Amino acid sequence: MKFSNRYIFIFITIIVVICAAILTFASVGLQPFQKANRERERMSQILQASGYVNVPDVIGFYKKVASDTIIKGEKEELPLIKVKAKNGDTNYVLPLRGKGLWGPIWGFIAVKSDGKTVNGAVFDHKSETPGLGAEINTMKFMAQFEGKLLFDEQGNFSSIKVVKGGVANSNIAPTNGVDAISGGSITSKGLEKMLEDCIIKYVPYLKEIQNKTTTK
Amino acid sequence: MSLKKYLGPLNKDNPVLVQILGVCSSLAVTAQLKPAFVMALSVTIVTAFSNLIISLLRNTIPPRIRIIVQLVVIATLVILVDQVLQAFFYDVSKMLSVFVGLIITNCIIMGRVEAYALSNPPMPSFWDGIFNGLGYGLVLVTLGTVREIFGSGTLWKMQIIPTSFYEHGYLNNGLMVLPPAALILVGVMIWVQRSKG
């Protein structure tokens, strides 16, 4: 059977329109479920950064210990999550957002109530290379952040450096750096930049907290 | 209705072991059983339904644009699977990440559509898709089982190797969680398959 050009155009147009319609309905219909999943994951990561790992009822528990707030930054309003940690201490969880090698990376860093010590950090990524850049999502990498300081001895914001070749072999203070991922240099660099760019906006607020705790 | 004539993909006509199709994803998602199982299920659904749909349309598809039509149908089905996974199996969909989208390029699907569905009626095409998906799934589940037990000591995230083994110096095989181990295992499976004659 011979098909005319006219037939071919009409045929493919109909097929494509039907497929597009099906996908649109699926996407719109499933969105509430997908949104709930992402929200649940966000809560779980915030809790994990503050030291609560493998919580069974994430949403209920999050409502109990965490509260989403917005603080005034220098230029814009900044989201901040206050979490009551296990020892009764208040953790300030800052959301992070940056670029990896292939796509976005993001995470949360929990700062203790002294305004400078890190309680924990969680990172996640969209499409970093498994075994290399994707290692930022492993406990081994994330656990390094516990106890690190965001400020140097003089009290200036130093962020946390992600050091290629290891902190021990560099001239960076061990409290201000973590080991980079071998084979994941671009992701490591992106993560370092994300920490610096995102946390620097919170520095005035963190200093305020530090002053409060020292005067007490 | 006899399904016997469709059983080839499970054994002597296996898509992965004999036709050497879909090897990429068999290496990528089989470090643990759960993602391997979900991947196998997703591919089976996509092969079955793309075969069914293309077979229903087979007399109306102009041969000159048949590949485009096949791709549109397959891509639509894959995106649907991806959306459903994101909505109801979020952790698995994160584990499978880019590989769900890459089902589109899985040669098994296009191969069956082109070789079978275009010239056969809908129901046989549907069963052909199901059994080719299952043949692929058989390899994935076997790989996932072996790699998870020896690589992580667990199966479906449950501890299989008793902790007393670890106390006596047993170690998980680190190679098993990496893709090269899957390549070696696939090689062994092909060897066994071929030597059966």
- Closest-CA distance, A18 to chain B, in angstroms, reads 10
Q: Which amino acid is at B126?
A: F
Q: How far apart are CA A203 and CA B167, in angstroms?
A: 47
Contact B80 A22 (CB under 8 A): yes
| Residues in chain B with pLDDT values less than 50 | none
A127 and B CB contact within 8 Å: yes
B39 in a structural domain = yes
Please report, for chain A, the start and end positions of each structural domain, with discontinuous segments joined by +. Answer: 67-215
- Please indicate if any CB of chain B lies within 8 Å of the CB of A25: no
Touching check for B119 and chain A: CB below 8 Å?
no
Residue B72's CB: how many other CB atoms inside 10 A?
17
Residue A111 pLDDT: 94
Give me the domain span that covers residue B64: 8-195
Name the residue among B73, B67, B78 with its Cα closest to residue B25: B78
State whether B80 and A15 contact (CB < 8 Å): no
- Please list the residues that pair with A68 across neighbouring strands: A81
- At A157, list the tokens: 């914001």
Chain B residues near residue A12 by CB distance under 8 angstroms = 65, 68-69, 72
Q: Which of A143, A168, A148, A142 is nearest to A160 (CA)?
A: A148
Q: Say whether residue B115 is in contact with chain A using an 8 A CB cutoff.
A: no
Chain B environment of A7 (Cβ under 8 Å) = 62
Nearest Cα residue in chain A from B75: A19
Amino acid type, A1 = M
Domain count, chain B: 1
pLDDT value of residue B1: 58
Q: Do A11 and B64 touch (CB under 8 A)?
A: no
Residue B3 lies inside a defined structural domain of this protein? no
Tell me if residue A57 falls in helix, strand or coil: coil
What does the pLDDT profile of chain A (216 residues) look like in tens digits? Answer: 678 999 999 999 999 999 999 999 999 999 999 999 999 999 999 999 998 988 888 899 999 999 999 998 888 899 999 999 888 889 999 999 999 998 999 999 999 999 999 999 999 998 787 667 888 988 889 999 999 999 998 889 999 999 998 898 888 888 999 999 888 889 999 999 999 999 999 999 999 999 887 765
